Structure 1
């Protein structure tokens, strides 16, 4: 079953996971409002990217009925000029965050508040680029917390956590090393990472949840209800 799981984060928010096994043709055939989505598909997407893009939209549609007030079936997942997803035809307080990597797509759908989600295939890329997105103290903590064989997982987790916080912030021009700050934590298979967002001269505190939904992947997410 491609729809892998639905987890309720709060009375007004749900997290969904989709395990991508279908071809683009299979996904198109079962996608609601497929004709309306056809002109929205990125023109440069190859077959793999098309499948990820379509699976993400299938997943979000599967979550519509999980909110206290279900979203209208004609709602479309669109992207703004920065690539951030939004829900055309839905109430103004409907919030969506969407991510895909490899064979997985993840989404948080909420009624009010803010949300961020990110799923990543574990690779060595995050460790190689650590100096570009980690503050000096974060990098020092990461070196102390990692042992042989787990560094790729840990650095990928740190990158993913910052991606989720970035999506939650919904603000352009954020510098990851300076404005998305992660506090020291004891790495486990799943847990929470304390985080600080520095924006507009103010600092706010957040908690990024994390887990490993499948071998070779990390998932991070955060939902903060309105009020």
Structure 2
């Protein structure tokens, strides 16, 4: 079943995973408001990207009924000028965060506060780019604490955690090395990463949850109710 799992993070937030096994045509067939989404589909998306894009929206619609105030079927996932998703037709306090990688899509919907989710296929890219997104102390700790055999997974986790925090912050222009700061933690199959977000001269503390939803993948997410 493509809807792989559903996890209630709080009374107002739900996290879902979609295992992508369908073709774009099969995904279109089960997508509400297909005519509207036809106009929103990125024109440059190849079949693989189309399938990932569609799976994210199928997943979001599957979660609409799990919120405290269920969303109407006519609600549409749109993207603002910066590419961030939002829900047209939903109450103003409803937020959505989407991510896809390989054959998995993730969605986090909440009707209170802020949310960010990211899923990544584990590969060596994050380690190769570590100097661009990790602060010096983060990079030093990663080098000292990570066995060579686990490096790809660990650096992918660090990148994903910063992506989830970036989405929660909902601001463009953030410098990952300076404003999204991860603190030391003991890596495991699942757990939490303490983090600091630096915005407008202020620092706020956050906790990013992580897990391995399938072999070769890492999932990170954060939901913080308002107040």
C-alpha offsets along residues 73-99 of structure 1, whole Å, 9 cap, x if unaligned?
Answer: 100000011110000011100100000
Q: Runs of 4 or more off by more than 3 Å in structure 1?
A: none
The residue that corresponds to 2:131 in the other structure is 131
Shift of 1:148: 2.1
Cα distance between partner residues in 2 of 1:215 and 1:145: 22
Cα distance between partner residues in 2 of 1:144 and 1:37: 47
The residue that corresponds to 2:172 in the other structure is 172
The residue that corresponds to 1:19 in the other structure is 19
For 1:53-132, what aligned pairs fall within 5 Å after superposition? 53-132=53-132
The residue that corresponds to 1:186 in the other structure is 186
C-alpha offsets along residues 137-186 of structure 1, whole Å, 9 cap, x if unaligned?
Answer: 00011011210210000000000000000000001100000000000000
C-alpha offsets along residues 3-45 of structure 1, whole Å, 9 cap, x if unaligned?
Answer: 0000000000000000000000000000011111100000000
TM-score normalized by structure 1? 0.99
Cα distance between partner residues in 2 of 1:32 and 1:78: 14
Aligned length: 227
Matched, 1:50 2:63: no
TM-score normalized by structure 2? 0.99
State whether residues 145 and 187 of structure 1, in contact with CA within 8 Å, keep that contact through their aligned partners in structure 2: no
State whether residues 21 and 103 of structure 1, in contact with CA within 8 Å, keep that contact through their aligned partners in structure 2: yes
For 1:133-172, what aligned pairs fall within 5 Å after superposition? 133-172=133-172
Cα distance between partner residues in 1 of 2:137 and 2:144: 11
Cα distance between partner residues in 2 of 1:24 and 1:140: 43
Shift of 1:112: 1.5
What residue ranges of structure 1 are gaps of 5+ in the alignment? none
